[in-house]
Amino acid sequence: MGRTILNWKSFLPLLAIFLILLILPPLLPRFYTYIIALMFVTGLLAMSLNIVVGHGGLFQFHHAAFYGASAYTFALILTKTSLPLWIGFIAAPIVAAVIGLVIGLFCVRLTRLYFGMLQISLGSLIWAIVFRWYHFTGGDDGIHGIPMPPFLSSLTSSYYFILIVMAICLAVIYLIFKSPFGTTLLAIRDNPQRCEAVGINVRRHQLAAIVIATFFAGMAGVLFVVLERSVFPDLLFWVLSLEIFIMCLLGGWFTFLGPFLGAAIMVSLRTFVGIYTEYWTLILGIILILLIFFLPEGVMGFLLEKFGSQVAGPRERGIE
Amino acid sequence: MDSGYILTFAALSSQFLVGLSRAMILFIVCSGMSFVLGVLRVPNVAHGSLYMIGAFSAFSISTLFGGSSTGFWLALIISPLVVALVSLIAERALFCHLYEREHLMLLLFTFALMLILGDLVKLTWGADYRSIMAPPFLRGSIPIFGSSFPRYNLFLLIVGPVVAISLYLFTNKTKIGKIARAAAVDREMVGAVGINVSWVFAAAFVIGCYLAGLGGALVAPMVSITLGMDHDIIIEAFLIVTIGGLGNMWGALVGSLIFGITQAFGVLFWPQFAIVFPYLAVVIILILRPTGMLKSVW
């Protein structure tokens, strides 16, 4: 990803897409508005994971823990305290980032699979606590009917809110990728030893990437609550974490918007295959296997290679 | 139950035995995962699904014989073989073509396999709760240390060590076991001396999955067999294999003991947060010894 994918020429189509998304809700049935908003939330979540996976080369196996922790923080602030909405809105992602910092401190000492495993166990610890702490988190029932202020009361207004927050987050993530920090991260992914040798503090950079990624996962968690008005322990379960990971691989983890595309594909698969058959995971499994065999670079990676003027990121070293 | 009662020696020791027998099931499942991890270097996410298939096919076989003792013993023998067959098909048809690819792709494949197998189980057996009966002489409890202890758990305490010893003999005394161990340490070298590594991998994968099926068949009389048991076991298996040392069979045993026993004592001391204790134990171990208790083959 050394070169720009978003130059001026490709900025115009993006602006057009954004404008189309702005005028969509009145034209679409309610259900589709909801699905698109869900794609935004899931897309932001996948993009946040890709900061550490595609760009950082880390095995962030339990990303959902941060997403769920933020969603729960937001939900608890709204239901159990009388603090205004905006405090919850700021506090929740910060809580996610702080948890990310603590877990990250332990994890960055390890490499690859051990990193992932330690993260799974720490994340599962959070899940187990949320799952069991009935008085506080509602246990396996979760929290439902979270009150929203008037300006977020309708689906359409939530849609706009989610769209705008997501767009800002994606822009910030893009700027981070283009910053010296982003390129250093890429260098660490491709060759940690050499980076260490030229004097880059590898672990500190990885830790910073984890904190940034968990912060944006927290933003996605807040947006999820805005959309669904409920939280439940499955938000922190490791199955969701693997699903987010799959979204990145599915869409193309060496491209900027690939994970977003992967998330959109996953959400639509679940929704529309789910309408016709209850065996949607079977279909998803088969699609995944086809993808592994025929599109190892992900859908976006494939599209960019086929039609784009720029090729996707360097693959020679990859994350292996 | 007030704390004055539960902290008696009898309760402690019986709970210890319960934890121990739970650890035996975990060990059988995790040793399989560890074996695959050691030789193929892939954390097999579908391992839990194979465990689930083992339990469901044990149910079918047992039902076929009207829940008789013969049915139970046949289930114990045949259902791991069913699982081994499923894994052999998946390995030879799809998985073996991916060995040259990136690691994450292999992980992704096993995840896809988990999704597919999970739904196939739903298609075959439906979403109902199932259960099977152990043979009469394994039902009920016997008194130990002044409290009653289920006979079936005692049976597991015998099966666990038998499996451990068989595995030890297999990996140390048979030729294929030795080759598999060699492949775990240095697969290029194994290929270089003229052994077909692809078939070694296939054998290791099938044996690992056989153990998952055996675990599933053994656990079947103790739990209600249902969809979702794959998700519950797989995360535990992952953590056990990690704290034991990736790919180390004896590590799987140590990890299972830690996990099973902390879980059992957690139930005794703080039932509401019982599931937190094993995770906490895992976290502490990984922070103190990041690469696991025993030497990893990685």
Q: What is the domain partition of chain B in residue ranges?
A: 3-288
Grade residue A10 by pLDDT with cuts at 50, 70 and 90: low
Q: Which residue of A has its CA nearest to B108?
A: A246
pLDDT in tens, A188-233: 888 888 888 888 888 899 999 999 999 999 999 999 998 888 888 8
Q: Cβ of A115 under 8 Å from any chain B Cβ?
A: no
Instruction: Look at A90-94, A212-216, B128-132 and tell me which has the smallest mean pLDDT.
Output: B128-132
Which of A186-190, B147-151, B267-271 holds the top average pLDDT? A186-190
Q: What is the dihedral of CA B224, B230, B233, B238, to 10 degrees?
A: 180
Q: How many CB atoms lie within 10 A of CB A137?
A: 20
DSSP string, A215-280: HHHHHHHHHHHHHHS-B-GGGGSHHHHHHHHHHHHHH-TTSSSHHHHHHHHHHHIIIIIHHH-S-H
Q: Residue-wise over B148-160: b if at least 16 C-beta within 10 A, else e?
A: ebbbbbbbbeebb
Q: Does a structural domain hold residue A200?
A: yes
Q: In chain B, what residues touch A133 (CB-CB under 8 Å)?
A: 273
pLDDT in tens, A12-46: 777 888 888 887 777 788 888 888 999 999 999 99
Could you give the CA distance from residue B284 to residue B289 in angstroms, rounded to a whole number?
Answer: 8
Higher local confidence (pLDDT), A300 or B242: B242
Type of residue at B15: Q
Res A318: pLDDT: 42
Could you give the CA distance from residue B124 to residue B132 in angstroms, rounded to a whole number?
Answer: 17
Residue in B89, B104, B109, B269 to test binding to A, most A beta-carbons within 10 Å: B104
Pair B227, B207: CB distance under 8 Å: no
- CA of B161, closest CA in chain A: separation in Å? 27
Look up the ipTM and state it.
0.81
A132: nearest CB among B102, B109, B273: B273
Q: Does a structural domain hold residue A241?
A: no
- Read off the DSSP letter of residue A9: H
Q: In chain B, what residues touch A285 (CB-CB under 8 Å)?
A: 112-116, 119
pLDDT in tens, A233-276: 888 888 899 889 888 888 888 888 889 988 998 898 888 888 88
Residue length of chain B:
298
Number of independent structural domains in chain A? 1
Architecture of the domain whose range is B3-288: Orthogonal Bundle (1.10)
Q: Cβ of A317 under 8 Å from any chain B Cβ?
A: no
- CA of A113, closest CA in chain B: separation in Å? 9
**Torsions phi, psi for B130 (to 5 deg):** -125, 160
Q: Does a structural domain hold residue A13?
A: no
Q: Does a structural domain hold residue A303?
A: no
Three-state SS string over B39-78 comes to HHCCCCCCHHHHHHHHHHHHHHHHHHCCCCHHHHHHHHHH
Pair A258, A152: CB distance under 8 Å: no
Grade residue B7 by pLDDT with cuts at 50, 70 and 90: low
Q: Does a structural domain hold residue A118?
A: yes
Pair B87, B50: CB distance under 8 Å: yes
* Cross-chain Cβ contact A117/B239 below 8 Å: yes
Res A55: pLDDT: 85
Q: Does a structural domain hold residue A83?
A: yes
B112: nearest CB among A109, A134, A285: A285
* Cross-chain Cβ contact B238/A285 below 8 Å: no
**Structural domain for A171, as ranges:** 31-236
Q: Which residue of B has its CA nearest to A292?
A: B105
* Cross-chain Cβ contact A286/B235 below 8 Å: no
Could you give the CA distance from residue B105 to residue B41 in angstroms, rounded to a whole number?
Answer: 12
Q: Does a structural domain hold residue A78?
A: yes
Q: Does a structural domain hold residue A180?
A: yes
